[in-house]
Amino acid sequence: MRETWNRLSEKQYFRPLIIFIIILLFNGIVSKGDFFTLSIVDGHLYGRIIDIVRNGSKLMILAGGMTMILATGGTDISVGSIMAISGAIACSIVNGNIFPSFNGNVAAAIILAILAGTVSGIWNGFLVAKIKIQPIVATMILMVAGRGIAQLITRGKIVTITSETYYFINGGYICGLPFPLFIVLFLVGLLVLFTGRTAFGLFLESVGCNPTASKYVGIKVDRMLLAIYTLSGAFAAVAGLIESAGIKGADCNNAGLGIEMDAILAVAIGGTNLMGGRFSIPASVIGALIVQSITTTVLALGVPAAYIRVLKALLIIIICLSQSKQFKDLVIKRKMINRKVVGS
């Protein structure tokens, strides 16, 4: 028993998991138990926790892709815009505004939207890996231009759709559980298997710690960067589909606005070093759940939504500080001085 506990507490996802449970308990106490009530209506589970999972699904997917990029010391701030592009394409196809020959085929819409996300990801990866532009600048190009592209696809309008099949992506249920959960499980499961069971994860960490050394060891850094940015783009497209299915339309100005910050925050809470190096995808996914539950909690407490952004910005700085070696040294030095004073 003790051994399993020790082994569990060594895992990177242990601390985030505890934080998540504490937040849930806090919510439970504040709401006097209402928070945990699950009701079954028409064979579907309803409840606050289910809401957190459903609303957090986009973030969990993004956090999965973002973890790998941050592990290499890069970043991808274009995910929000890619979500907008994917939503715009999918809704426009379902609506028949573009490619009328598909007759609003949902499958075609989904495939083309994910394809667009993949192409966006390849573009990011190409700029970062081949042209060697700093990731922040490379992805910022798409962050700003992407919303423009989405606007051009929808011709500057908000596209609304009526398609029960398409709504299913966000609102559907399988075995009483919300469909987005299955998308998350599938994508994240793939990632965990891929990084955990192959050498890819190890290579990622090595690139994050020292790209030059990794190159001399024989790791194909370029190809790896290209692959992870592409994956991140494709994942963002899936998140965009969930988002647009949720609001039943494509709103290019607001879809995924500011979500890149949430994704980075989720990864940071998960304990992945933002400078690159050690990473854990399950920890980031729990981090995403924490971010989502913080949002829900703050809203439930009646604090205006505007404060959430400020809170998150402060949180990310605090977490970054706690990861910084210089900051740790400073704190340790203080403690040592205090101890010396007490000792003498």
Partner 1 sequence: MEQTGKRKRVHINNISLVITIVLFILMFLFGSVKYNNFLSLSTFLNLFNDNAYLMIAAIGATFVLISGGIDISIASTIAFTGVSSAYLLERGVPAFLVILMMLLAGIIVGCTQGALIHYFKLQPFIVTLAGQFLMRGLCVVISERSIPISDPFFKTMALGKVAVHLGEAKAWNGKIYYYVFILLIVFAAAVYTLRYTKFGRCLYALGGGETSASLMGLNVARTKIAAYGISSFCAALGGIVFSFYTLAGFGLQNLGLELDALSSAVIGGTLLTGGVGTVAGTVVGVMIEGIIQTIVTYQNLNTWWTKVTIAALLCFFIVIQRIIAIRAEKSKGKNE
Binding site for partner 1 (CB under 8 A): 75, 77, 127, 131-134, 136-137, 140-145, 147-149, 151-152, 155-156, 258, 261, 264, 274-275, 304, 306-314, 316-317, 320-321, 324-327
Report the nearest approach of partner 1 to the CB of residue 66 (Å).
Answer: 12
Report the nearest approach of partner 1 to the CB of residue 84 (Å).
Answer: 12
Report the nearest approach of partner 1 to the CB of residue 231 (Å).
Answer: 21
Report the nearest approach of partner 1 to the CB of residue 82 (Å).
Answer: 14
Which lies closer to partner 1 via its Cβ, residue 119 or residue 311? 311
Burial 327-338 (b: 16+ CB within 10 A, else e): eeeeeeeeeeee
Residue identified by tokens 């606005």 is: 257
Report the nearest approach of partner 1 to the CB of residue 48 (Å).
Answer: 25
Which lies closer to partner 1 via its Cβ, residue 30 or residue 313? 313
Which lies closer to partner 1 via its Cβ, residue 108 or residue 261? 261
Report the nearest approach of partner 1 to the CB of residue 136 (Å).
Answer: 4
Report the nearest approach of partner 1 to the CB of residue 265 (Å).
Answer: 9
Extract the tokens encoding 339: 């101890």
CA gap 207, 184 in Å, rounded = 26
Which lies closer to partner 1 via its Cβ, residue 119 or residue 261? 261
Which lies closer to partner 1 via its Cβ, residue 108 or residue 221? 221
Which lies closer to partner 1 via its Cβ, residue 122 or residue 320? 320
Which lies closer to partner 1 via its Cβ, residue 137 or residue 190? 137
* Burial of 75 (C-beta count, 10 Å sphere; 0-12/13-18/19+): buried
